[in-house]
Structure 1
Amino acid sequence: MVAGTDIDRACAAAKSQQPDLPSPDAPPGAVADWASAQFLEAARSNLTKSCLLLALEEEAAAQAAYLEAEGLGPESVAALRGSVGSASTWSLERISALAEECTVTLYAKLHDLGVVDTVLSVAKQVPDSTLLTLHTDLVRSYPTQLILAINHVLYERHGYRRQRRHGDPLDMRLSNVLENGNGSPGSLAVLYLELAARLSLPLEPVALEGGRYYVLQPADDSVVLSAAGERFVIDPYSEGMLLSETEVKELFEVEGELRPCSNEVMLAGMLGVLRDSHWCAAVGCPPEPIWAVPIAVEVALGEYRDVEVETSSGEDTEGEYFRVRFTEPDNVGQESRGQQWWPAQGYNLRRALAAAHKRSLLLPSDLNAQLEYALLLYFGKRYEEAWTELGCVLQAAKSEAAQRVAVPTFDPEEIQQMEVLWEKIRLQLAFAA
């Protein structure tokens, strides 16, 4: 649960004025709404701030759901606050301390190489601006030494590591990663980017697997990571390992050059993972991508085939199967093969919808992102909004078809399915009226 002072520090971490900061006694729902609004404002300018605000929203929303589920009154809120996230996390003091450790480690490595003796001897005699210039020049001359220093501090000394299990929303909260060390590919990449920026090493993210994985590459030609004519990138999820571009292309089946992505695209990718994690929790299916139930029109129409997935591993292990039939039941007592499911308006579905909404705003021209938002509105039984959003997607899809776009977002069969769902929602609204 998030204390009011922690909220203040979360904002202070962004180093910007927040005139509409919620008061310390604001209810968790109000804090979540505020953090959501601030996230969208920060998304284009400050990646770390955006991730902290997203974590704050998630934590406040979880607290609100807990209070709602337990039926606790406002008088209990104060007693519940302050148990998630220390002040040093929200204020970024923890990251500042990590950056200082990295600096000390870097200069120790450079001292062992006999590089910085002259610099250290004149350190007290020159202005800070000159020292910063000298530091920047050293980083650009010895980038691998700084990478080794960051890797030593993060992964060896402090034990930051990859997530323990796939699909846990906690591993995508930057605050939780700073506190506990386990992180998703995206959250560890954000932490690495922040540290490198503080240490004058300009890096930029490259999105892989549709934003589920990230590697980092130099942001300009002043930093060179290459050997024997091969360029290298940093893999924060594999403890800062250096991978050649050829290895990355082969592992992730990338064609063409590795291209950096913007803040919006990186955040949208992380939101996609967060959305899927909450969606799978709402559905009750395994969170692994190959087993997860898709957020798709065929699921909404009840045409998604029964799922039968063996979830065990190993030759001597008896197989366990996951079966779900995805149709909305007409009668409560209706029998079905497997588990008959329709998502309730619960916490995980609301969080999946919130993530999808932000993603649709960050990627306004991505019709798939808009469709997923419309579908989650439908699953949440917010039919009027779903009908409107789906209508916009359908109109854009038909426009692509009419213009004979070379690679349309949807094929004719998918457009026909959307038309059927759109008409189904219209009928539902008509009957409700």
Structure 2
Amino acid sequence: MSDSPLLHPADNASVREADTSNVFHSWSAQGTLAPFVIASGKGARIWDYEGNTYLDFSSMLVNVNIGHQHPKVIEAIKAQADVLTTVAPAHANNMRALAAQKILSHAPAGFEKVFFTNGGADANENAIRMARLHTGRDKVISFYRSYHGNTGAAIVSTGDWRRIPNEYSRGHKHVFGPYLYRSEYWATTPEQESERALHFLERTIQAEGPASIAAFLIESVPGTAGILTPPPGYLKGVRALADKYGIVLILDEVMAGFGRTGEWFAFNAFDVVPDLITFAKGVNSGYIPAGGVIINNEIAHAFDERVFPGGLTYSGHPLAMASIVATIEAMEEEKVVENSKHIGATVLGPGLNALKDKHSVIGDVRGSGVFWAVEFVTNRDTKEPVDAAWMGKLKAALLAHKLLPFMADNRLHVVPPCVVTEDEAREGLAIIDAVLTELS
């Protein structure tokens, strides 16, 4: 291993060749892959093995909220490695307890327990399990426009195309959530969209049988599906329906949580409190895989005398817990969440809307904090999406201008790290402007 040229590669091509020869990539046909090569990064920038530096407007998979290679988080991982590298989840460990305390300090009142997982998918998996066991019911209602992870129940809760080849889990029902720009409810205002989407959700509950429904599983702000900020009153209406019919409300904060929307949890902006909160990604910026479920007291104490039939070998892994503690402390000290809100309100929001005024290919702009979507159309009146070929040209041009984008369907998701500076955010907007001018 020590003699391998891959330890100190001189070029991108050798890394790419070794990768595609030996690594099986997710969500991909393997034969035509040409992955982007990354050597390292710092803050909101990354670079390859040939010295090319890029502004990261993807945060990898919308998870590097604290930026690349934050020194405090790296040091915490190293320090924990010197003390204890792993521990069975049945044992007590100070770092796991500290991580739980740090997370709970930003949760609403009425939450005192955290169940740790390896990531967001198994966080949602275990939240579903808790809801089913707590209610004695089976069905889970989620959105067609959603992504909840690639494990058994999580992928079937997911609404997009990735669900269809993987439908092996039982009891999942889907509805269309609110999305005013492409309303399924013939709405013309946010208030209409909220009211009509809630009406359809309640009719679905009634048609499926309220006594059969264990949980709503909803992303507070659906991310991969298009950064669909819920309209006024919607999440509060879902909370009311959950209370009316005895349904557990699970809010998926895996992508939206820990600063991404300019809040510690995205649902804070909507004056709603769920029963279970799932998290991952931004809790430690993915430095070491970690996720979990924040459990309200009623559900947590339901298992005081009853065995919870779930667990993972690496639940609360010490290195991951150390990275969580250090991440949250750094975010508090450096006011990273406040920076996210400020950048969204003063730079990204106004800047992207100015681009919409300038470029007719932009049909819609939506978001908050450092969590924005730009939707591209061939015609603003018909809202016909641009095709994959156009999006491919957009991606290639952005990379040529040294900006690493996050693309989904006909959208560019503008999702830099929460530590992005005003100058870096404006630099990214200028690159997007220049590329759209070129493509037009």
- Tell me the TM-score range normalised by the shorter chain: under 0.3
- After TM superposition, the score normalised by the length of structure 1 is 0.24
Choose between structure 1 and 2 for higher RCO, CA contacts under 8 A separated by at least 6 residues. 2
Tell me the TM-score normalised to structure 2 length.
Answer: 0.24
- Which of these two proteins has the greater Rg computed from alpha carbons? 1
User: Which structure carries more helix by proportion?
Assistant: 1
- Which structure's residues are more often strand, by fraction? 2
